[in-house]
Amino acid sequence: MTTLRLAPVLGIGLALAAHAGGPLPPVGLLNVGVFENGDEWFFDVNLEGSNAVASATLTPPGKPAFALTCVVLGPSATGCEYDDPPDGLPGFDSLASLVSVYPAGQWLLTVNGTLTASITFAPVEPNSEVQVTSPANGSVAGGTPTISYTHGCSNCGFLYFELDGDAQGVELEAMVGGTPPPSPGSISYDEWVSLAGPKPALLPDGEYTLLSATATGGLAIVTLSDASTFQYAAATSLETVTSFTVPEPAESALAVLAVLFGLARRRGRAAPS
């Protein structure tokens, strides 16, 4: 099994590395994602670039352009995004409904009103979801759980997993590649990559949400009209969500029990005469 470890800034990092020693490219990474979750479909665009990016739009064939919302992320970075529907609102009832608004074909990316590039948008629905077999949904797991899964997706290019413990400040991800990816398969705790600071040696006790997805799509290098290049990632995915709980380590529970037992024994002793 090949497990691909991708941090969210991998795309822009590789693009910047390729241009080391020269001016930073305006765009490092453009990600266009279509995903199904809970029988609803969502459309999501993210662009990461240098501080030279002030605006960005996408124009689908036969449709008006729509603008991404851009914010400064740091002294040399800008992030732009677009979500339909916005967070918290119901999604499209089918992939066909989504594609009627965002049609497949050649799209035009425009940055700062003058830089342009053509990208291909061609969503293909995965033909199966991921089934997580361990930890079972609602079960109790240890502090370094191994995720076991199966799937029947014959047209997928990769699987994506994200493990979130919001109360614990834990956010981990892993990707498994293959055409199709192996099934059954597993991801050991060592294979997870942290998106929120250092990965803990053991998951803190609490409840965790596991997002698992089958996905089609891939990565391409696209050239802007100024001859600079960026990475374009396009994916269509089917998501499933499960949860599990990590209890306090057994050693801690035993230590507490020993203390309580000792106190009870001492309380029960008769005072010396």
Within a domain: 253: no
Lookup result for tokens 């370094």: 144
Per the CB < 8 A criterion, the answer to whether 102 and 121 are in contact is yes
Task: Determine the pLDDT at residue 167.
Answer: 85
How far apart, in whole angstroms, are the C-alpha atoms of residue 20 and residue 104? 35
How far apart, in whole angstroms, are the C-alpha atoms of residue 214 and residue 156? 6
Within a domain: 177: yes
SS3 45: strand
Q: What are the start-end ranges of the E strands in the chain?
A: 3-4, 27-37, 40-49, 56-59, 66-67, 69-74, 77-84, 105-111, 115-121, 130-134, 139-140, 147-151, 158-165, 170-177, 185-187, 193-194, 206-223, 229-246
Q: How far apart are the first and last CA of the chain?
A: 72
Within a domain: 269: no
Please indicate, yes or no, whether the overall pTM of this predicted structure exceeds 0.85. Answer: no
Within a domain: 179: yes
How far apart, in whole angstroms, are the C-alpha atoms of residue 168 and residue 13? 28
Within a domain: 117: yes
Q: What is the pLDDT along the chain (273 residues), one digit of tens a residue?
A: 333 323 333 333 333 334 344 557 899 999 999 999 989 999 999 999 999 999 999 999 999 999 999 999 988 899 999 999 998 899 999 999 999 999 999 999 999 999 999 999 999 999 999 999 999 999 999 999 999 999 999 999 999 999 999 888 999 999 999 999 999 999 999 999 999 899 999 999 999 999 999 999 989 999 999 999 999 999 999 999 999 999 865 444 444 444 444 444 444 444 444
Domain interval for residue 168? 3-239
**Left, alpha or beta for 114 (phi > 0: left; psi -120 to 50: alpha)?**
alpha
Within a domain: 262: no
Within a domain: 266: no
Within a domain: 258: no
How far apart, in whole angstroms, are the C-alpha atoms of residue 6 and residue 194? 10
How far apart, in whole angstroms, are the C-alpha atoms of residue 5 and residue 79? 22
Give the number of other CB atoms < 10 A from CB of residue 87.
6
